[in-house]
Structure 1
Amino acid sequence: MTGDRELNEAGYRASEARFVCVRLLPGQELVRALRRVAAETGLRAGYVAGAVGSLSQANLRFAGRPEGCVLTGCFEVVSLIGTLDAEGEHLHMAVSDPEGRMTGGHVLEGCIVRTTMELVIGHLTGVRFSRSPCPLSGYEELRVDGIE
């Protein structure tokens, strides 16, 4: 169980949000496009508020696996969630194939838009996201800092 000390070290802050809406076109790569949107809009702390679209290729890393699995075909994006910041992102996605079978995992570069990808990105004000090593998980994990 996580104690108050660990929770406070991870950081939490209340914030307001503004939103950016974008449509990605066929052939665009999802992660690179999100990074470009983050850079062009000055995003410091953000999240995927909504996403709908399709992919011709998905690159997902499944739980406990060291590398991604590239899937090719026709996929509907059923869910895309995660956090974004100026330095990177932590995204999870679920996709369904033409038979309705779902696959999900951690999003890696190599997700190619098939017909469209409509995104609503929430920009949190007054906070900055970053990543730092977590001794509990062994990974670079979210850090939330206040900004003036």
Structure 2
Amino acid sequence: MMTLPYPYSSSARFYALRLLPGQEVFSQLHAFAQQQQLHAAWIAGCTGSLTDVALRYAGQEGTTLLNGTFEVISLNGTLEQSGEHLHLCVSDPHGTMLGGHMMPGCTVRTTLELVIGSLEELAFSRQPCALSGYDELHISPVK
């Protein structure tokens, strides 16, 4: 039987920000993580709209690019200075939902309002996982 590592706890700090029309979401979040020196952050809340959406669907290698009018239903995941792991769910004007791994190429339509949490005493990184075959989340205390 596999056991899980001991769960870590930490105090948190929250940031509120708004992305503007025309801004590319992925690069803005990466720049914000760098600027604020975030080592273990996550998307605590997000609402807004996009004109361009870039998703990688489950089990697929390539990125699907969509253009139109989309409402952000959910954006969640982790951020650190060296990268991010984000999932995005949007709806089109007919209410059809699409979602997957968020990739570079998502553009803000009217606004993207975000609350980002940062775990002050932890650091996230990515390390190879023999079980999944991917680089997966590694959590460590900040020394």
Shared fold, TM over 0.5: yes
Q: Percent identity?
A: 50
Report the Cα distance in structure 2 between the residues aligned to 1:116 and 1:84, rounded to whole angstroms: 20
What TM-score does the superposition give when structure 2 sets the normalisation length? 0.97
- The amino acid across from 2:65 in the alignment is V
Matches within 5 A, 1:116-131: 116-131=111-126
Report the Cα distance in structure 2 between the residues aligned to 1:47 and 1:60, rounded to whole angstroms: 19
Report the Cα distance in structure 1 between the residues aligned to 2:81 and 2:124, rounded to whole angstroms: 8
Matches within 5 A, 1:1-148: 3-4=2-3, 7-8=4-5, 12-148=7-143
Give 3-state SS (helix, strand or coil) of 1:72's partner.
strand
Report the Cα distance in structure 2 between the residues aligned to 1:143 and 1:126, rounded to whole angstroms: 14
Report the Cα distance in structure 2 between the residues aligned to 1:68 and 1:53, rounded to whole angstroms: 22
Report the Cα distance in structure 2 between the residues aligned to 1:56 and 1:12, rounded to whole angstroms: 39
- The amino acid across from 2:30 in the alignment is R
Report the Cα distance in structure 1 between the residues aligned to 2:7 and 2:108, rounded to whole angstroms: 34
- The amino acid across from 1:48 in the alignment is I
**Conserved? CA contact 1:12–1:144, under 8 Å:** no
1:122-147 deviation line (CA, Å, top 9, x unaligned) = 01011000000000000000000001
Report the Cα distance in structure 2 between the residues aligned to 1:78 and 1:105, rounded to whole angstroms: 12
Give 3-state SS (helix, strand or coil) of 2:130's partner.
coil
Report the Cα distance in structure 2 between the residues aligned to 1:51 and 1:17, rounded to whole angstroms: 18
1:12 Cα deviation after fit: 3.2
1:55 Cα deviation after fit: 0.3
Give 3-state SS (helix, strand or coil) of 1:37's partner.
helix
| Structure 2: 5+ residue stretches without partners | none
Give 3-state SS (helix, strand or coil) of 1:100's partner.
coil
